[in-house]
Chains A and B, each alone.
Chain A
Amino acid sequence: MLSWLPENISTYGRDIDGLFALIVWVTTPWFLLMQGIILWSVLFNRRRVGRRAWYLRGDTWGQLAWILVPTAIILGLDFLIDARSALVWAHIKQRVPAGATEVRVTAKQFNWEFLYPGPDGRFGTDDDLTLDNELHVPVGQNVVFTLQSKDVIHSFFIPNVRLKQDVLPGRSIRGWFNAEKTGRYEIACAELCGISHYTMRAFLVVHTADEYRDWIEEKWPQAASAAAEPGTPTATELS
């Protein structure tokens, strides 16, 4: 089952895949048991001359225990699954760590705009640069993004990072990820946003430290001599 998931390249992606595996292991036995009961009944409780059905009304606690005890166990297992999920969720969504790299993502009908603060690390200055459909990040670093939409609701989805966050007009939503592997990965819009929704494809490019420095030099040649470290931590910890 897990083999159908695309390659995971992010830190928290591992936790999400682990959660998926947990749910597979917990739910599948119950599922097989229930289907098994149906099959067993159909195979071994068929109408036969001379055999009468059991008169089981299920109106005593002894009989209902057959339902209520398994239900209680299922409830307990469900809570375990969701406790694990809550921890992962809090780690991903309820905090934004200090970001080595910050980027502002604007979604619109029908493409993605990535606004980089440039070597000075501040937005709203002359060295800000907007690229269409390309998100460049250094490997192994926290990347903090701020999402905004110019028109309708879109959704920022990076399958290989396991990240998804809807992008709303009129609001700024912050999030983060940390990519542990270099390479080029697809970004998609995951909320129907109009007729060309299917064309909202962008790329996440994860660079080694050297490659990232080269990319910055290429994009901001005037700052090349300064050879500044990529970005300055400006993200604050949200409680």
Chain B
Amino acid sequence: MSVHAPAHAAVAHETAHAGSFWRSHVFSVDHKTIGKQYLGIGIGMALVGGLLAYLIRWQLAWPGTPVPGFGWVPEPMFYEGIVPETSYNAFVTMHGTIMVFFVAMPILLGAFGNFLLPIMVGAPDMAFPRLNMMSVWTLGLASLVMLSSFFVENGPASAGWTGYAPLSADATYTADVYWGLNLWIIALMLEFASFLMGGVNFLTTAINMRAPGMTLWRMPLLVWMQLVAAVLFMLSVGPLVAAALMLLGDRTLGTAFFLPERGGDALLWQHLFWFFGHPEVYVILLPGFGIVMEIMPVFARKPFFGYRTVVWATIAAGALSFVVWAHHMFVSGIDPRLANPFSVTTILISVPFSVMVGCMLLTLVGGSIELATPMLFALGTLGTFLIGGVTGIYLGAAALDMYMHDTYFVVAHFHYTLFPSVILGGLAGLYFWFPKMFGRTLNEPLGKLHFWLTFFSFNAVFIPLFFVGLAGHMRRLYDPTQYDLLEPLMDTFPFVSHAFVTKAAIVLIVSQVLLLVNVVWSLLAGEHAADNPWKANTLEWATSSPPPHGNFATLPNVYRDPYEYTPPGSKDDWLPQTAPAAGAAR
């Protein structure tokens, strides 16, 4: 795929296939369609992940009672609606796995990365369109394999999304879950392959296919974030691929990687997993931040504060992310002295993120802020992420982590980093780019209602869980009432209780119906969208909504960086990247 067809040929390509539903919607090589396919997978899997959260929360609040709506599920997954202990661990495992690998990455990288990156740099498509199609099909296959694991004998994987060996390395340790965990490993490897293909495309396209005038320092921040995320993923997933193969070997071929009784090492899995795991959380976070960084200047009518500084900070954070992994392992049995260097690197990595947050804050200060739905979600992302960031400091102090590790404090912390970037950030992006992607306008009042319900119910679920964790509540417990220590956390206090949290979680899940209604209604009967409803500067707004095959009718020329809002001496409060300069180009 060394030669890419020029866009006029691409336009001809479009008309040639205009009548073929299959070629243009299913077997499409157009990055925009592929991006929407990723979005579909991500949203579909989010429904599964949310459903699993509902099951987990119900069991925690009212252990041993039937879950409403699940009385029909046959044994042994449910017993007349009641979640048995075997299923609980499986639900916890699959919730985490699906959310991280089949929701976060497909939505933030697969959907927004694919749809936006080529347009934002002025390219007609990705560098390797057929590889792109293969990547989304591979993810589709991976999703099917992952979902199929629910239906095999003894159920799906139940060793946590972190899949620690030796628990995961021998089926007898997980009550004979054999194919469930094998399929889990295979599905993950297919997912890795999908995003490796995507990463190759992102990097090659952004580096080699930029339009005239689109220097690296004129690329939108979202593109920078996607690129750093792609590099992080490509360099960090290798160890986990190796570990996954080793785990499959231990489970099926009798190899001796992780099982001490065969000569293996009980800690090896954790090192390999977290070497990947920590960069992975930035693979997820950075594109989420990138969305926020695109939205804030548009709705504050201000340049993004410290564009180049943020780019350098992102690169620094990416580099540092490879040397912090053992802060997930302070009490794991590693030499205690290792806690010190990893604590130092963990403190250092807070520096670039402080810089990024500071720049986002200063992008708001002095702005002319309009609280449209995308901006509400962007602000919500920043505000809630701050809680996640600050609580990370508690966990990074090894001596305190000794107490907090594997409690609900950790659960609350990572939901306060993941949910903001994936869900609030993803929703910000959806509300912002929906007109561009689908050519229709979403209903604004419904969007605002969706935001407030989501925002409040999310905080209602997870703020109490910090205190639940402080009280010593361990993770992954099927029945907290086994412990006198935890009994008061069931339903005694008004907010810090499993009962309250579960009710809030149900509100959170149900509120998402508003999004589905809005999206479906808009697609069917919504107002047609203008090319540039938000009066934004980046290249995607300089073409039609949705853009044609090849993205642009004529080659765009780029004259300036993306955030020239309210430039001095100008009547308008925006100046697109493609507008020729009145005077000298910057």
* A contact residues vs B (CB 8 Å cutoff): 1, 4-6, 15-16, 19-20, 23, 27, 30-31, 34-35, 37-38, 40-42, 45-48, 51-59, 63-64, 66-68, 70-71, 74-75, 78-79, 81-82, 84-86, 88-90, 92-94, 109, 151-153, 155, 157, 159, 162-171, 173, 186, 188-199, 201
Contact = CB atoms under 8 A, between A and B. Distances in A.
B261 A169 contact: yes
B400 A19 contact: yes
Closest 4 CB pairs of A and B: A170-B260, A54-B366, A58-B306, A159-B472
B140 to A, nearest CB: 30
B487 to A, nearest CB: 11
B503 interface: no
A19 B399 CA distance: 8
B474 A190 contact: yes
B308 interface: yes
A71 to B, nearest CB: 5
Contacts of B68: none
Interface stretch (B129-137, B142-150, B378-386, B428-436): B378-386
Given A71-B358, A162-B402, A45 B471 contact: no
Contact of B333 (A41, A166, A201): A166
Given A19-B397, A59-B307, A192-B160, A173 B402 contact: no
B400 A85 contact: yes
Interface string B358-397: 1101101111111100000001001100110010011011
A109 B158 CA distance: 15
Given A23-B400, A53-B573, A54-B366, A196 B85 contact: yes
B367 A41 contact: yes
B399 A88 contact: yes
B483 A201 contact: yes
Contacts of A37: 361, 364-365
B175 interface: yes
Residue among A6, A75, A86, A153 with the highest chain B CB neighbour number at 10 A: A153
B566 interface: yes
Interface string B306-343: 11110000000000000000000001110011011001
Given A45-B300, A74-B350, A195-B175, A163 B402 contact: yes
B366 A42 contact: no
A187 to B, nearest CB: 10
Contacts of A109: 173
B281 interface: no
Contact of B474 (A16, A51, A52, A188): A188
A55 B379 contact: no
B563 to A, nearest CB: 8
A15 B355 contact: no
A14 B393 CA distance: 19
B474 to A, nearest CB: 5
Interface string B152-167: 0000001110001011
B309 A64 contact: yes
Contact of B358 (A70, A159, A201): A70
24 contacts: A16-B400, A23-B400, A38-B379, A46-B368, A47-B301, A51-B368, A58-B305, A58-B309, A74-B351, A78-B347, A84-B397, A85-B400, A86-B399, A93-B339, A153-B332, A159-B403, A159-B485, A166-B331, A168-B260, A168-B266, A169-B166, A188-B472, A190-B405, A190-B407
Contacts of A90: 336
Given A75-B347, A190-B474, A92 B358 contact: no
B470 to A, nearest CB: 4
A70 B477 contact: no
B343 A153 contact: no
A56 B467 CA distance: 40
Contacts of B573: 52-53
Contacts of A75: 347-348, 350-351, 354
B303 interface: yes
Residue among A58, A71, A93 with the highest chain B CB neighbour number at 10 A: A58
B456 to A, nearest CB: 15
Contacts of B175: 194-195
Contact of B397 (A31, A85, A188): A85
A195 B366 contact: no
B302 A53 contact: yes
Contacts of B566: 52-55
Contact of A198 (B159, B264, B355, B478): B478
Nearest to B563: A57
A74 B344 CA distance: 14
B167 A47 contact: no
B475 interface: yes
A56 B354 contact: no
Nearest to B397: A85
B535 interface: no
Contacts of B350: 74-75, 78
B357 interface: yes
A195 B85 CA distance: 6
A153 B369 contact: no
Interface in B170-202: 173-175
B241 interface: no
A160 to B, nearest CB: 8
A12 to B, nearest CB: 8
B565 interface: yes
Contacts of A166: 331-333
B390 A27 contact: yes
A194 B169 CA distance: 12
Nearest to A193: B167
B403 A45 contact: no
Given A56-B303, A85-B398, A201-B482, 7 more contacts: A4-B471, A19-B399, A56-B305, A58-B359, A66-B358, A68-B355, A71-B358
B306 A64 contact: yes
A159 to B, nearest CB: 4
A148 B368 CA distance: 62
Nearest to A5: B470
A35 B371 CA distance: 17
B296 to A, nearest CB: 10
A59 B164 CA distance: 46
A156 B563 CA distance: 53
A106 to B, nearest CB: 14
B494 interface: no
Nearest to A67: B358
A107 to B, nearest CB: 12
A30 B340 CA distance: 25
A46 B365 CA distance: 10
B397 A186 contact: no
B407 to A, nearest CB: 7
Contact of A192 (B167, B305, B483): B167
B421 interface: no
Interface in B533-551: none
B479 A198 contact: yes
B307 A20 contact: no
A84 B393 CA distance: 13
B340 A86 contact: yes
B568 interface: yes
A31 B85 contact: no
